[in-house]
Amino acid sequence: MGTFRVQLDIGDREAERFESLDVLVDTGSTYTVVPASVLRRLGVRAHRRSTLELADGSRKEWEMGRTWVRLDSKQEMTLVVFGEEGVEPILGAVTLEEFLLAPDPIRRRLVPVPGLLM
C-alpha cells in the first residue's frame, strides 16, 4: 500500500489551541504519534504508559495521553503516543476509525467509511 501525508491539527485538552502537523497516514500504527515536545507545549498530560511494538519487532514503553485532534474541520478526542524528538508524526488506525475515515492510497487521500455495529 502506498503512503501519503495529511495535515492534522493537534489541540490542547480544552480544544482552544491547536498546532498543525504534516503527518504520515499509517494504518500499520495502532495509535497517532506526536512529538512529546508538541504535546507538552499544548499542556497535554500523559495518563498511562504502554508497551508498544515497533516495526523492527522490538518493544518499548511509551507515555500516552488523550487530546483533541482536528482533521478537515472535524474534531475528535483521541489517544496519542508521546513520540521522541525527531519522530515522524503518524496518523494511526484508532484515530482514523474515530473519524470514520480510511486511506485511499491511489488518490492519496482519506475517504469516509461507514461505522460498523455487528
Rounded Cα gap, residues 29 and 89, in angstroms: 11
Residue 1 predicted with pLDDT over 70 = no
Q: Stretch 64-71: mean pLDDT, rounded?
A: 97
pLDDT reading at 39 higher than 60: yes
Q: Please, what is the Cα angle at 115 between 111 and 75, to 5 degrees?
A: 65
Beta bridge partners of 34: 82
Question: Please, are residues 75 and 16 in contact by the beta-carbon 8 Å criterion?
Answer: no
Q: What local confidence, expressed as pLDDT, does residue 27 receive?
A: 87
pTM above 0.75, yes or no: yes
Residue 59 has pLDDT above 90, yes or no: yes
Q: What structural domains and CATH numbers belong to the chain?
A: 5-112 (2.40.70.10)
Q: Which residues contact 37 (CB under 8 A, 6 or more apart)?
A: 85
Above 70 in pLDDT, residue 58? yes
